[in-house]
Amino acid sequence: MLILSDMDSVVADWDTGYDNLLDSLGSPASRLPRHHERQVFNLHHGLGPRQSGIVRRVMDTPGFYANLPLVEGAAEALNAMLDDGHDVMLCSSPWTTNPTCASDKYDWAERMLGVGWADRVILTKDKTLVRGDILIDDKPSIAGRMEPTWRHILFDAPYNRTVTHLPRLSQWANWREVLWEESLALAGSLQPARTL
């Protein structure tokens, strides 16, 4: 099975990094919603121009993506998937106005997940263009130019809890159970070839 996993808020603890950087800025950044308070995926939702400017400042900080901690259990789960014979790729959307985002993501994968993981990073603004069987992502809805070949497994976050039509991975410790259910669903959706 070809498994695609998002990086930010799924493997890399973007939420803690973002909250910590906001905290370091003091007021008026202290009034911006923190990760656990966000009800919408879009960081700029409901913000005025000044607050949106602070968000852009945080997101454009060089080195921001290089210093994110790991999400608990992510490295163990991804490496166990490889050990189980799955092909695993990190599929992430870069923050294009951050001058070091792309290189930070490659560097982060190699440092935090182990040797060879930088070669497993795919950076794209349109994940529907990437082929795979499964995509594990925290974004509630993923659209693009193509009909995805992958099934979306939602990685749990406060801003996606109203989504009930997608399978959900609440923590990496449960990855085998969720992937097993999805592999059964995938097998069930494959129709046998008709013979004439």
Q: 87 an active-site residue?
A: no
CA angle 67, 132, 80 (to 5 degrees): 55
Transcribe 34-101 into DSSP letters.
PGGG--SS-TTTT--HHHHHHHHHHHT-TTTGGGPPBPTTHHHHHHHHHHTT-EEEEEE---TTSTTH
Longest Cα–Cα distance of the chain, Å, equals 72
> Can the peptide bond before residue 28 be classed as cis, meaning omega within 30 degrees of 0?
yes
Q: 8 an active-site residue?
A: yes
Quick one: tokens of 29? Answer: 């950044």
Of the candidates 8, 15, 19, 137, the residue annotated as catalytic is 8
CA angle 72, 110, 114 (to 5 degrees): 65
Catalogue the active-site residues.
Answer: 6, 8
